[in-house]
Structure 1
Amino acid sequence: MARRLTFKFLRTEAASASFLAVAALAALIAANSPLAGQYFGFLKSEQALHLGPLVLSMTAADWVKEGLMSVFFLVVGLEIKHEILRGELSDPRKLATPVIAAIGGMLGPVAVYLTLAATAGAPAAGWPIPTATDIAFALGVLALVGRGLPSSLRIFLLTLAIVDDLGAIVLIGLLYSGGTDWSLAGAAVLLLVVLGGVAQRMRVPTPVWALGFATAWWLTVQAGLSTSLMAVAFATIVPLKPRREDGQSPLQEAMHDLHPWNAFLVLPIFAFAKAGVSMAGLTLAQALAPLVVAIALGLFLGKQVGVMVAVWLVTKLRIGARPEGATWLQLYGVSLLCGIGFTMSLFIGALAFPGDAADLQTEVKLGVLGGSLLSAIAAVVVLRLAGRPARAAMAEAAA
């Protein structure tokens, strides 16, 4: 079952990568066309939600960031819980290499970024931006060029990306949840505890889950906490154990129902809202600004070095081993894929430089797009070369 879920997830994310790419391209076109005024104007416009006496007003961009993206993090949380309890993360022997590689893949970009912050003047607050790996894009690119590569590489990348996401969520919760109203935060926690306790004793209908999530989300926004942290916490109370009456797992049902919405609606909308960079008046100095270079090199250089050094240490110390059947060149290609930080990096960038920091947000987008594009292109080249012998052997066997 776990294996079938993993490959279904991979197929979904591979298709999602195309939607993400189209949405990002559409945003770039809109931001550099006669529609630029409407595009940026809508993202900055206030949109109010009225529910009886309750009113919540945020910009359209914030609704995407705090609203739609909470669904993304709910799905990530469900995936993390499933993998820890039943999937690849449940076997400690299989965990060591991708987990330590994920840690190295976060430390490497931080080291590169902080070095450039100290030497080139990049703002220190941006150091978490290049730590993230975009699951959808990375797995999508691997699916496009992975013919002939061992399936262990896909499992390695998926596990690494899940651990990477967990690390990013921890950073978001620690760094970007200031000004908290702890009474409302306590109410949100109490709601989760009560709903989780009820779910352990009886079947909770889908409308109750939806209402509970919406209520917890509302309390979290009002409390000033990160909705991403709430969404992952909510995922922990969704039961994985199958129900007696129909043998279905609520967690697996939620993953099945939410993955398509997340892959083909939530993430493309986020990409469209965040990838729009106006090139009007863009100078070479801005394109090569310290923040742009620090993020781009953090993703492109820091990720590959951090992952490869970590895997080398793991194998040298015999804590773990390379993915079964994979060569060092193939593993290097996967380490390059880890430098695709599109969705999560843009999200963290919006948190790191909030408010009216328009110039900094432009530089964040340029750095993330540049580093992710460099990583994707280099990964395609390396993985094509690494997979050539295997594809030739497959063709010869077929003949």
Structure 2
Amino acid sequence: MKKQTPFDLYLLQPIRKFLDAKLLSSGLLLLATITALIWANSAYAASYFALWKTEVSFQIGNFVLSDTLGHWINDGLMVIFFFVIGLEIKREFMVGELSSFKKASLPMLAALGGMVVPAIFYIILNAGTDSISGWGIPMATDIAFALGALMLLGNRVPLALKVFLLALAVVDDLGAILVIAIFYTEQISTASLITAFVFLGISLVLNAMGVRRTWPYALLGLFLWLAFLQSGVHATIAGVLMAFTIPSRAKIGAEEFKNETYYLLEQFPEKEFQIMCTDENQYRTIEELKYLLNKINTPLQRLEHALQPVASYFIIPVFALANAGVNFTSSEANIDFLNPITLGIILGLVVGKQLGITLFSYLGVKAGIAFLPSGITFKHIYGVSCLAGIGFTMSLFITNLAFVNPVYIEEAKIGILSASLLSAIIGIITLSLTTDKECTDEKVCLMENTGNH
């Protein structure tokens, strides 16, 4: 067996594992979407729409929370998804592709263009109408679907390009979160908002005190979510803000960890056991090793590792199942691609994303603000900009915040589904034509495309 180098272990393996997870997530997301569409247009369509309108209540004494199943998915389950996004954003800014200006400048400029230009397209077509509130819908990029589409091209795509799309999508998520928090907020309850920030402050204090157990943050996160639920600010913002308070620094370095674990293992009593460890000295050493692992493994990493599969393989597919269903034969489904909402979303996601990402990237590089990774061309950037038009999850989420009128919601969904499909097809074709050289050695491919010769 080929011996793994530190390069393989600490760089290639995590990236490969993450991309494989996104590919599986996009597959489940696609399956849930197809299921929702088939169900919503079948003889059992009534049961599909009735299911999400089922009232679900939680009661403790006189305290009662009651809403439809669909709202609990959008305002409850999705909080965990936004919490994971918050953890990813914090990690990327601390140690990832957004940790320095040189690394962050290109994806940040690209994401800015990919949010501003699509919104402009939508605003132009919907100006002066009550559907103008949907301007945030075409700003989003669905990272699972976009990376899944990119992965279909296999090793033909430079790993640096996949990393660029990932960084762009993280910034795009941050932009979408800010849009939701600032522009899609109902009437504010000052008392509830103050209460929410008290819980947030307590979490920050725990972080400063060095508390690394995750259960206190989980408990505070629950209270924070309840406060936001009553505040008028969308409850999912609680997940993002809570993520920013989670400890993210290791308490010991690699050399200290190596030395201390080596010492403990050297002192480990050589006493064999059959069923379980009962020797007091052995057990004490095991506990000390666990303590060392907790010191080097941050709470942020532990939570992200535990919740990423839940968000990717359960929450997002359930969200798609609940929100992607459109009955094309109903009176609310207006199959008119030229209506302002549908056309605005399609032009925003398909044309606006391509124009905004490519143009802002080009201007940034020409101005010397941003830098193209070695081996990446503007043809590659354009191909990624096409895939960024797959809005889906976040676009559907913003649709539910932007509109109350069911006709508008259905028109928006048709625009999102159509634009996402078009963007995926155009992006895959474009990148298949611009990435004709297969890179079979991942290490060489990554080094060539990050300038590490």
Instruction: Give the TM-score category using the shorter length.
Output: over 0.9
Question: Could you say which residue in structure 2 is the equivalent of 1:94?
Answer: 103
Match of 1:397 in 2: none
Partner Cα separation in structure 2 for residue 2 and residue 165 of structure 1: 24
Tell me how far apart the structure 1 counterparts of residues 63 and 214 of structure 2 sit (CA, whole Å).
Answer: 23
For 1:62-141, what aligned pairs fall within 5 Å after superposition? 62-118=71-127, 123-141=131-149
Alpha-carbon distance between aligned partners in 2 of 1:386 and 1:113, rounded to the nearest angstrom: 30
Distance (whole Å) between structure 1 residues aligned to residue 415 and residue 316 of structure 2? 19
- 2:362 pairs with 287, 312, 318, which one? 312
| CA deviation string 1:33-85 (max 9, x = no partner) | 12211110111222111234321111111111110111111000000001101
Please say if residues 56 and 67 of structure 2, whose CA atoms lie closer than 8 Å, have aligned partners that are also in contact. yes
Pairwise CA distance, 1:148: 1.9
Within 1, Cα distance between the matches of 2:42 and 2:103?
Answer: 49
What is the 5 A alignment of 1:261-340? 261-281=310-330, 286-340=336-390
Cα distance between partner residues in 2 of 1:171 and 1:249: 30
Q: What's the CA shift for 1:194?
A: 0.9
1:12 pairs, out of 15, 21, 31, with 21
1:44 maps to a residue whose letter is K
- Alpha carbons of structure 1 residues 146 and 154: separation in structure 2 relative to 1, 3 Å: same
The reply to whether residue 161 of structure 1 matches residue 169 of structure 2 is yes
Matched letter for residue 368 of structure 1: I
Go from structure 1 to structure 2 and tell me whether the alpha carbon gap of 1:122 and 1:154 turns closer, same or farther (over 3 Å shift): farther
Partner of 1:229: 237
CA distance in 1, matches of 2:55, 2:11: 43
2:46: which partner in 1? Answer: 37
What stretches of structure 2 of length at least 5 have no aligned partner?
Answer: 1-9, 253-290, 443-453
Matches within 5 A, 1:356-371: 357-371=405-419
RMSD of the alignment, in Å? Answer: 2.1
Q: Report whether the alignment pairs 1:375 with 2:423.
A: yes
Aligned length: 391
Q: Percent identity?
A: 39
Q: Is the 8 A contact 1:203 1:243 kept in 2?
A: no
CA contact (8 A) 1:133 1:341 kept: yes
Shift of 1:203: 3.1
- SS of structure 2 residue aligned to 1:57: strand
In 1: Cα distance, 2:95 partner to 2:103 partner: 13
**Within 1, Cα distance between the matches of 2:439 and 2:163?**
20
Amino acid at match of 1:263: S
* Paired residue secondary structure (2:56): strand
Structure 2 CA distance, aligned partners of 1:238 and 1:39? Answer: 38
Structure 1 position 259 matched with structure 2 position 295: no
Q: Distance in 1 between matches of 2:439 and 2:432?
A: 10
> What code does the residue aligned with 1:167 have?
G
- Equivalent residue, structure 2, for 1:49: 58
- The answer to whether the Cα contact below 8 Å between 2:334 and 2:407 also exists between their aligned partners in 1 is no
Normalised by the length of structure 2, the TM-score is: 0.82
